[in-house]
Each structure stands twice: as C-alpha cells, then as structure tokens.
Amino acid sequence: MSDRRIIETLRLAADPAGIDAAAQLLRAGGLVALPTETVYGLCADARDDRAVARIFQAKGRPHFNPLIVHVPGPAEAARYVAWSDDADRLASAFWPGPLTLVLPLRDGHGLSPLVTAGLDTLAVRAPAHPLMRDVLRAFGGPLAGPSANPSGRISPTTADHVMAGLASRIEAVLDGGACGVGVESTIVGLFDTPTLLRPGGLPREAIEACLGAPLADPADGGPLTAPGQMTSHYAPGAAVRLNATEWQEGELRLGFGAVDSDLNLSPSGDLVEAAANLFGHLHRLDAMEGERIAVSPIPDTGLGQAINDRLRRAAAPR
Ligand code: TXA
Ligand code: MG
C-alpha cells in the first residue's frame, strides 16, 4: 500500500462481504475505519510497523502518542500485557465495553513499538460493537486504533464524519451507522494505585464500585497521564463558550435540558443521550461556520464528567 498516493476510500456495507473486505484490507497492511460502540477507530494490524506508521501519517498525529490495541477479550489481551487480578475484575464486569486498561507490556508481545510509542505499558480494550467484533474475529489479530479523525479534531461517530476527515488517506470505512455511546472509552491505568487516565463512556463510579476503592487522579501525584490528553483537542473551527446560562447575539447555541437552542444534546437532560449526541452536534454546528458555539451547563456526574472533559478541550485556547 502506497504511503503518499491519494487513495480512493471505499465505503463498506455492514454485511458479511463488507466485514470480509475489511479483514482482507487489514491483512494487506491497509487502514480501515471501523465502528465501535464509543467512536469510529482508525484501525491497522498492531504487529505491522508500516501499517501503524500510516495511522500516524493519515491522522497527522504526533508519533509520541501511543495507541489503544483492540482485542476480542481478556485471553487475547493477556498475550500482550501482564494481566492482573484488578484487570480480571474490571474485564469480567465491563468487557466488552467502553473501558481501556493500561497494563505493563509483556516480553515477546510482537507488537510494533510504534503502538506504545516506546512506553513499557500498553492500553488494551475489548470493544462491544458487533461489527468491530466480527472484523476482529475475521482478521484474527490485534488492531491498533485511535479515533478516526485528523489529529486535534472532533472524534467521528458516523461514517460520514470519518469520510469528511480522512477520505483519500485511508483504504476504507465500514459503515455501521451512528455509535451508541458517542464518547471515547474510559482509560484506567492499573498501576500500584488504579488511576483514572481519561474519563469516558464508562462512569468512574461504576469502576470504583467494582474495585471497591476510589480511583486516583493523575494530578494526585501519579507520574503517568494519557499522553494524548492535550488541552486543545477535539477542537471545532469556532470558539467555544461553556456553561452558558443565557445566549449572546450571533452565537450557535448547543443546549442541554429544557432550553431554547439550535441543537440540543438532550432536551430531557439525559446524560447518556447527551454523550451519544455530543460529537455529532459539534460536527453539525461546526459546519454552520459561526464564530462561536455556546454550550449549556452539563452536570458533572456520571457520563457528564466525560462530556465536560471533551467540552473543556474544545473550548481551550489554541
Ligand atoms: O473509545 C476509544 O477509546 C476509541 C476507540 C476507537 O477505541 N479510541 C481512542 O483512541 O479514543 P485515541 O488514540 O484517540 O485515544 C487513546 C488515548 C490517548 O490519549 C493515548 O495517549 C492514551 O489513550 N494511551 C494509549 N496508550 C497509553 C499508555 N500506554 N499509557 C497511557 N495512555 C495511553
Ligand atoms: Mg482521539
């Protein structure tokens, strides 16, 4: 597969032929955007240096940013990382699903060193989306997959979003419709003290209840954070104003709850619905090319933590 040539990006259908074509392209070292329950992932064979390098090239992503490896379940994860009791507890409760675990890398893992960006830990996750699981099974190996957006832009929750950002840079997108969860997975580092590295689709409270202990925050003194957590991330073209309790002249209005707005994350104030709508609504408002997007306050509980984290990054100075 050529590195610089402009590629015609195929849109594969969600049927056995589409799944098979996706697996074949991946086996040939291709890049295929696949639907997961969180967001679309830009996937490639995690053992293939050249394929993984092409992920960074297609996204325009800095090389020091490590990637999540997607596997069917704990048995496959344990080939690449030193599995632990906490990992077992969390995977039993939440896999397949929107939870990524960071664990020590195992010797002889066989993954491209580009996947971990030289760290001695690896982020692994078993996604729940049936199409992603079908492709993992058909492909039969580990898939490296960051969100399928150009670096620094909003994560894609539909095949159209993927096409808008990456068409002509990747071999294909498997069209699985809109992602159900809508924000990326929660990332937990299973170090001496389990640490919340990124809030996401699985609420912190659920993880703490399962472990029977509070999660540490990187700010508590833990040396490791998710390196991709740059402040100015998920940025739409327009400026973003948060916690807007009234609208100002000329703003595009992103509402939450019973407010008058241009688009509403959830008129009934449901955080699950709001998470599922977040990136789609931001993409839509961005396309209206206004100067500023104002956003209603979102409660900071459950999935609200992940939503607020993404909104703060969208609003960060850049
Ligand atoms: O829901 C998701 O997690 C989606 C879908 C496609 O699975 N993927 C995703 O990947 O959001 P990405 O690359 O956009 O974000 C992965 C985050 C980055 O912030 C990266 O720095 C962090 O995971 N990460 C990866 N490996 C790590 C490691 N060994 N230690 C700490 N953070 C790590
Ligand atoms: Mg991302």
196 and 65 in a single domain? The answer is yes
Structure confidence at residue 62 (pLDDT)? 64
Q: Kindly state whether residues 117 and 256 are assigned to the same domain.
A: no
Q: Are residues 205 and 270 in the same domain?
A: no
Q: Is 184 in the pocket of ligand 1 (CB under 6 A)?
A: yes
Question: Omega of the bond prior to 96 within 30 degrees of 0, cis?
Answer: yes
Q: Is the Cβ atom of 185 under 6 angstroms away from ligand 1?
A: yes
**pLDDT value at residue 141:** 98
Does one domain contain both 206 and 249?
A: no
Both 193 and 265 in one domain: the answer is no
Is 44 part of a structural domain of the chain? yes
Distance of alpha carbon 16 from alpha carbon 201, whole angstroms: 28
Structure tokens at 162: 């993927």
| Ligand 1 contact, 66 CB (< 6 A) | yes
Instruction: Return the residue whose CA atom lies nearest to atom 5 of ligand 1.
Output: 41
Note whether residue 261 is domain-resident. yes
User: Which residue's CA is the nearest one to ligand 1's atom 22?
Assistant: 226
Please indicate, yes or no, if residue 166 is contained in any of the structural domains.
Answer: yes
Read off the pTM. Answer: 0.86
- 303 and 200 housed in the same domain: no
Does residue 151 have its Cβ closer than 6 Å to ligand 1?
no
**Token pair belonging to 188:** 């937990």
The whole-number pLDDT of residue 2 equals 42
- Those residues of the chain that have pLDDT short of 70 are 1-5, 62-64, 219-234
**Whether residue 207 sits in one domain with residue 93:** yes
Residue 234 has what pLDDT? 65
Q: Is 150 inside any structural domain?
A: yes
Q: How many domains does the chain have?
A: 2
CATH number at residue 254: 3.40.50.11030
Cβ 145 under 6 angstroms from ligand 1 = yes
- Let me know if residue 220 belongs to a domain: no
Residues 176 and 248 in one domain: no
Whichever domain contains 157, its CATH number is 3.90.870.10
Q: What is the pLDDT of residue 63?
A: 60
Residues 26 and 141 in one domain: yes
φ, ψ for residue 90, nearest 5 deg:
-70, -40
What is the extent of the structural domain holding 193?
A: 10-211
84 shares a domain with 17: yes
| Predicted pLDDT of residue 187 | 97
The domain boundary, picked from 191, 211, 231, lies at: 211
Q: How far is the CA of 108 from the centre of ligand 2 (A)?
A: 27
